Amino acid sequence: MSQWVQLRIQAKAAQVDACENALLALGALSVTLQDNADQPILEPELGTTPLWDDTQIIGLFDADTHTAAIVEQFPLMFAAEGGVGSVDLLWEQVEDKDWVRAWMDTYKPMQFGPRLWVCPSWCQPPQPDAVNLLLDPGLAFGTGTHPTTALCLRYLDEHIKGGEEVVDFGCGSGILGMAALLLGARTMTGIDIDPQALTATRDNAQRNDIRRDRFEVYLPQHTPAVQADITVANILAGPLNELAPQLAQLTRSGGKLALSGLLSHQADDVIQRYNEWFVMDTPKQQEDWVIISGTRR
């Protein structure tokens, strides 16, 4: 018998907060929001949490929950939370299976270029003699599954020859910095605005036997003067445009630059922004995403 049931609700953006608060007040163990109309939200402004116009809300409850009582009480609680109008409710039984094992089974070793593999800790590396980066999903963004991360990893596999000083602005999980070091870079400076990302980077570097003196991590305001041989930044178009002078300053004359987190239609604007400091290359694309690169003038 299943241990959980879930209440599925179709709502408009203006109804989401009231629905979420009502579900939690009625004993939901968790509440999940999903896009209900294939509406992308590609680059929200900083400090905002935009919602889809049509949102699917899923409240998870214990299987012993009195579902009829919840259905009866929900409209009253929804109205008490400021909800306007009505919403459709649908109870579903949650499949009973080993969710941890199911999740682990979906995350497999991935290859990026001729040399580099990213492997979860519970899998045997397919090529033990290759450059194998051990990384499990965790606190911060970046496991190699997203096209922008994959593009950056392939760039590093191609351009790291040995002995480079590398900067990763927006280091997230530390995946790009660790890949650079394992491929032969001498040092890595990771920079991120999120303290959790710095923690994740340190933990992941330790798991890969990378000495702390080879991989230093900083908040942006504490970053020391660096002249990198290669600078990578996998963030978003808006921040990349704003950071152009800073990323140029971090890169030595003749040094390399790789930028991702960009949709294909955003590439021209970012290239134009960086032309002042870099000779830019033709973008490379994977699905709807691109990486742009260049050489410091």
Distance of CA 162 to CAs 148, 157, 181, Å?
Answer: 23, 11, 9
232 with 251: CB under 8 angstroms?
no
* Start-end of H helices in 160-279: 175-183, 195-207, 237-250, 267-274
Query: In terms of residues, how long is the chain?
Result: 297
Per-residue pLDDT of the chain (297 residues; tens, 9 = 90+): 458 899 999 999 899 999 999 999 999 999 999 886 554 544 445 454 556 788 899 999 998 999 999 999 999 999 999 999 999 999 998 876 665 555 556 678 999 999 999 988 788 899 999 999 988 765 445 666 789 999 999 999 999 999 999 999 999 889 999 999 999 999 999 999 999 889 989 988 998 999 989 999 999 999 999 999 999 999 999 999 999 999 999 999 999 999 999 999 999 999 999 999 999 999 999 999 999 999 999
Binding site: what residues are annotated? 149, 170, 192, 234
This model's pTM is above 0.75: no
pLDDT at 42: 46
251 with 257: CB under 8 angstroms?
yes
Q: Indicate the SS3 state at residue 113.
A: coil
Domain boundaries, the chain: 4-96, 143-296
280 with 274: CB under 8 angstroms?
yes
DSSP annotation of 82: T
pLDDT at 146: 87
Top CATH class, 143-296: alpha beta
Are both 4-96 and 143-296 of the same fold? no
Nearest of 242, 237, 293 to residue 265 by alpha carbon: 237
Query: In DSSP terms, which residues pair with 166 in a beta bridge?
Result: 188, 230
pLDDT at 135: 83
Rounded to 5 degrees, φ, ψ at 178 are -65, -40
Helices 16-25 and 67-80: crossing angle, nearest 10°? 130
289 with 147: CB under 8 angstroms?
yes
d(CA 191, CA 51): 29
284 with 151: CB under 8 angstroms?
yes
Binding site for S-adenosyl-L-methionine: what residues are annotated? 149, 170, 192, 234
d(CA 193, CA 190): 10
CB-based contacts of 214: which residues, under 8 Å, 6+ apart? 181, 186, 187, 188
CB-based contacts of 210: which residues, under 8 Å, 6+ apart? 178, 181, 182
CATH fold group of domain 4-96: Alpha-Beta Plaits (3.30.70)
The answer to whether the Cα torsion of 118, 123, 128, 134 is positive or negative is positive
